[in-house]
Structure 1
Amino acid sequence: MKDKVQNIIRSYKDDKTRLMDILIDIQEAYNCIPDEAIETIAGQLNMSKVDVDQTLSFYHFFTNKPTGKYTVYLNDSLVAMMKGRDEVARAFEEEAGVKFGSVTEDGLIGLFNTADIGMNDQEPAALINGVPFTNLTSSKVKELVGGFKSGKDVEAMLGPVGDGMNADQRISSMVSNNCHKNSGAVLCLEYETGSALKRAVSITRESVIETVKSSNLRGRGGA
């Protein structure tokens, strides 16, 4: 393991600012980030083990325990519940033979809950090995788990691709943009893409700040 982890780190030129990329690659290789790997990372990047652990523990999708060859994170947001999430969850458990929060004995399938993954308009949705699967149904789940058991690549189990760049061969994502432009009041007015940015660069910084203040718009956390 140590040699493989060291090679991954070297591929990023021992750059500690690429820690996230290093962790992602290691997790893809081992389905988790083992303690031995953490020690190797810390030593090779000249970081404390605590610093590596902090990054690992901060992000929900990083784990130091095996989560299965096929790791399913099913969204459990309120909208997902309203769109039939419970039925989909039951189907996963029945087909995989394991409850959410655990991994099958053979290490093949792991089922886990996760918070909002940004697919509220396409629920129920899940991330399977990091790939989004949208508009899930119990019948689709049966097909997916069958694919897991036969060893199919996750990408080979995707349904029809979405619109826009999602349909590009380099992306090939099921996600639909669901962008609608309708005439109407305020947010639904017709607009020219980039017009606000063009206006912003044509006036002074002070004018931009004053315009934002006079609009009475308020920030909402990180949204």
Structure 2
Amino acid sequence: MSARVAIVVGAGGELGRATAQKLATGGFTVVAVDRNAEGLKELPDGIRSEVGDAADPAVAKVLVDRIAAEVGPPEVLVNTLGTYGLGDALDATPEDLRLMIDVNAGAALWLTQAVAPYMRDRGTGVIVHVASKPGLEPTPGMAAYGVSKAALVHLTRVLDLELRPLGIRVNAIAPDILDTAKNRPYLSPELMAHAVSPEAAADAIAFLVSDAAAPISGAIVPTYGP
């Protein structure tokens, strides 16, 4: 096993799986986490899987503590968790907003709280979250989603200010449209022509994790595609 442990959360989805494979190829010992056990089965041998809902703060801490004890303290956290929903601001319900905030912003906070002590003790660490273009630029028709991703963008910048003095870098990528099996049935060919593959987005994440990105912290990197 490598001494460099990376936790990839949301690894049951296409972006998470691509990221887990990319980091494993790059020499990390990767632990893939998702609440969807079936999605984790698509990962190649050599990548350890853990099933759990990291949007639950208690579960996030238990998962990270177990990984640290059994595999090693994490040097890298990549959080690709996210949920999506359409809806105008005037039609948004408390349930809509709560779900979007809990998954898109809350999970990022709970996971960061869980891994930060291990990174602080090592004096180094890298955290990458996945934001989105509507979190940077107001977009009609997805109010609750956009607000939750904007919260994640702001959280990433706050975490950078608080954790950078401890040697921990925190960044995010911000895709617009990802070319995934889940998205293709709902989006027009014109929109899909500008979509970014999960593998290309994973390349951006792998760069932010790498030593080549050592000067970069607090960045929200647009990954919008052509």
Both proteins in one fold, TM over 0.5: no
TM-score (structure 2 length as normaliser):
0.23
Question: Which entry has the higher C-alpha Rg, 1 or 2?
Answer: 1
Specify which structure has the higher proportion of strand.
Answer: 2
TM-score (structure 1 length as normaliser):
0.23
